[in-house]
Structure 1
Amino acid sequence: MHDHHLPHFHVRLPRGYVNDPNGPVEFGGTTHLYFQSRSHAELAVPVEWGHATSEDLVHWTLQRPAMSPVPGGADSGGCWSGNTVVDGDRVRAFYSGKVDHSPYQSILTAVSDEDGTNFSRPAQVVDDPAPEEGVTMFRDPFVWRDGSTWRMVVGAAGPGSTASMRQYGSADGLSWRFEGELARLPRTLFDGVDTGEGWECPQVIALDGREVALVSSWSHEGGPGEVLAFPVDAAPAPRRVDDGHNFYAASVMRQGSHGQVLFGWITEGRDAALWQAAGWAGAISLPRRAWLDGDRLCSEPHPAVAALRAGSGRAADDATIGAQAEIVVPAVSGTVRVRYDEDHWLDVVLDLEADTLTLDRSAAGGEAGVDTEGAVSTQAFGDRAEWAARIFIDGSVVEVFTSSGRSITSRVYPTTPPPWRVQAPAGAVVWELARAVASASEAQPVRLESLTVG
């Protein structure tokens, strides 16, 4: 039975559970995107590293898992978040090894001599925090090369609900020394946002001559919160990277032919019982390009995303669409309504005078247990002449981008399948978008020797 909620151009598994993107890296002209995955939509299944490859950032081939837990090893409970770097003619991964009943996820490294398709057994490279430090969470390394020096940050939660990015340095990527904290902040409300008692998935991206931290706020009692960003050359003033409800665990590719690229985990917006019944959960966001506006990190779809468009654009108002589409709205106030049936719809409201874009899911429908809370981006519109908003629809995934660099990532689960009808302001244009994710067997012949699992 066809599931019209399934995304077709966002990276995800045909079945199973997908969460944090890990270590996007370009190697040999190919982009490798790793991500936490489980072969079944059950959280009790240990995490492994799923793997997808692309030549253009938008058409992806799903490969066999690149890394799986080693029974009795330092990651026996799961291969959790981290990243990858090119190390000569190899790809080197740094990640968190989960061991059941251990207070920390130890920082491990593993090497691929097989073009990033399969990684070796891991080795621990950073000591766990000493008990007297009072660290209550420690995980998720992010490593990059700074000239001849290797640098690493690890997310942590410490005494007094203080979130931090612990910093390490190395000459060879194997022997690491602790160099203090790159940034720290006691839990607070900043600009109405809970900054968290700990920071997961820390990333560092270079923008406009400054280093900018991206962190995922976290707490023991509430779990995941928001993706926040702030330049590290000043006191942390974290601001949301995405104004929606379903964007978390951002991951950065710092260098490559596509420039610096940002991905995130698109979480589910429905109760676990529903996604477990469906047999799948989670997806990876579209690739994004980022920049700084003052101290605020902004983003937009990477230019490569335009390759998803199938055929020519047409007037959006009164258009009929399938479950995969892009709607581009000019700089006018008005509402884009995606009408699923007579009683259910999704609204995107542009108010140029108030400088806001609002996503309204209250009438989108779906079963009990589906989140319908709305979202608002303020200071939403810049001086971009060609468009004010771009709306991407991919089954249950909605990603909205504004001309000032704000974004809203959300989920909707209408019970009525396509075709759906669009109502939009004059000048809005819609494109159908092509399917862009296939398994290795669908995309090309796969040699048996390439199907080993690490």
Structure 2
Amino acid sequence: MTQTQPETQRADRSAGTVAHLRPAYHVRPPSGYLNDPNGPIELGSDVHLFFQSRPTLDMHVPVEWGHATSPDYVNWTLHRPAMAPQPGGPDTDGCWSGNTVLDDGRIRAFYSGRVEDNPFQSILTAVSDDGGASFGPAHQVVPDPAEAIMFRDPFVWKENGTWWMVVGAGYVDRGASIALYRSPDLSQWTEAGPLAELPRTRVGGEDTGSAWECPQLLTIDGRRVAVVASWSPEGGPGEILSFDVDVPLDPRRVDYGTDFYAASALRESRFGPLLFGWLPEGRDRPGWNDGWAGVISLPRVVWLGPDSSLRSAPVPTIDTLRTGAASTGEITGQCEIVVPEGPGRVVIHFGEQERLEIELDADTITIDRSHASLAPHAHGGRMQATDAFDPASGRPAVRIFLDGSVVEAFTRAGRVLSTRVYPTTPPPWRVEGPVGTECWELATHPRSARS
């Protein structure tokens, strides 16, 4: 068959250099590489979010801490980077992951400083005296370990008058570990033994990893719940897992999609415990030729399900991004698709040969992106979560957030699947779903600050 001009244009676009793939209401800088979210914190009426980023896609450029603020967790303003590596300092090759706390009204960051020749990322602290816009010089707070295969990513919080810190670690003879420290003043830290350890194994089909990075510690319903990123030297990043640290460890996945990693928690917020995550690219590196890569997930309210797994829902203020009235059928690249009841099938038709298929049955949600893109570097495959629907919750069967190449699907029982799709066909797109399915166009953010 003779190829028409539109088909030729689609083939030309298949490398990914198209504006409609760029996320517009999720947090990410205008260009460059973004990865881990870091240190979300409420200060006054605003929430501050920091994140690892590079101004270009050159992975040899050391990461810095980008900075965004929001009055409501959904309308974001991007600012200049808040933290940059100090030449010749303890983070000369990168300001890696950590979190922030309030210290006498000032924002204090704890993070990993990378120096290329050092075997570990030293645990550093730095203080902001201008409300999070910038941080002063850093210094190390705990010694590097004598032996470990990994040691990085502090998370600090205050409980019953004592400051606590966990650090991600892994050891050849002990497996994945969460190192624990305590302090009366954020300056002098004493090792308090491992909070949790687990030799590498498989639980529920998931590899628990040789080490755990980005550990976060939440208190939910009086239970201490750890959220960790499984990691191994040969395979790198694995999955985000959660477990109660005070009972025999039973790690469970936090997100059942293909692209969610390096979770960052806010223990207390106006909505309760929250979780952010990094949504990496779902395409091979040759496809990164449009000047940007990586995005931050929507912030998620989290709770424990009946099986003690961590469940999620988008922050309630996400509804304020809706514009106009609900529609059916045609959508833009920034929208929310709400399916009130299942079972059923949702198909997002990007073009004649490109579609995303979402199946809802009595217990399971399945997302199939096998036909989502004609681009040669886009990933495909299926993802699935069981125990996805709880009729007593009062929530819709599924809420699907589409933002260019980002898909986040939240089910009635709090299961969430995050993935990336790269249709070569630009919007408008078409949605086919069960009776009652509604589509809402969403406003586009973040914006850049003038100062």
TM-score (norm 1): 0.94
Deviation above 6 Å: which 4+ runs of structure 1? none
Q: Which of 41, 44, 62 pairs up with 1:46?
A: 62
Aligned partner of 2:236 in structure 1 is: 223
Distance 1:298 1:386 in 2: 13
Deviation at 1:397, TM superposition (A): 0.2
Distance 1:386 1:219 in 2: 37
Q: Which of 342, 362, 366 pairs up with 1:332?
A: 342
**Where do 5+ consecutive residues of structure 1 fail to align?**
447-454
Contact 1:308 1:436 in 2 (8 A): no
Contact 1:331 1:385 in 2 (8 A): no
Distance 1:239 1:386 in 2: 23
Distance 2:449 2:349 in 1: 35
User: Are 1:142 and 2:155 counterparts?
Assistant: yes
User: Are 1:310 and 2:323 counterparts?
Assistant: yes
Alignment of 1:151-190 (within 5 A): 151-160=164-173, 162-190=175-203
Distance 2:85 2:369 in 1: 39
Aligned partner of 2:226 in structure 1 is: 213
Contact 1:199 1:216 in 2 (8 A): yes
Contact 1:252 1:260 in 2 (8 A): yes
Contact 1:108 1:123 in 2 (8 A): yes
Q: How many residues align?
A: 433
Distance 1:348 1:56 in 2: 30
Deviation at 1:161, TM superposition (A): 6.3
Distance 1:242 1:351 in 2: 19
**Where do 5+ consecutive residues of structure 2 fail to align?**
1-16
Aligned partner of 1:101 in structure 2 is: 117
Aligned partner of 1:266 in structure 2 is: 279
Aligned partner of 1:364 in structure 2 is: 372
Deviation at 1:40, TM superposition (A): 0.3
Deviation at 1:298, TM superposition (A): 0.6
Q: Deviations over 1:153-183 (max 9, x none)?
A: 0000102360000000000001100000000
Distance 2:136 2:160 in 1: 26
Q: Deviations over 1:218-275 (max 9, x none)?
A: 0000000000000111111111000011000000111233322110000100111211
Aligned partner of 1:413 in structure 2 is: 422
* SS of corresponding position for 1:31: strand
Q: Deviations over 1:349-372 (max 9, x none)?
A: 1011xx100001011113212110
User: Are 1:79 and 2:88 counterparts?
Assistant: no
Q: Deviations over 1:387-422 (max 9, x none)?
A: 110000000000001111101000000000001011
Distance 2:160 2:75 in 1: 32
Contact 1:290 1:299 in 2 (8 A): yes
Distance 2:132 2:226 in 1: 26
Which range moved further: 252-261 or 362-371? Answer: 252-261
Distance 2:227 2:108 in 1: 22
Q: Which of 351, 359, 371 pairs up with 1:341?
A: 351
* SS of corresponding position for 1:154: strand
Distance 2:42 2:374 in 1: 39
Distance 1:32 1:101 in 2: 32
* SS of corresponding position for 2:186: coil
Alignment of 1:105-144 (within 5 A): 105-130=121-146, 134-144=147-157
Q: Deviations over 1:21-77 (max 9, x none)?
A: 000001122100000000001211100000000000000000000000000000001
Which range moved further: 193-202 or 254-263? Answer: 254-263
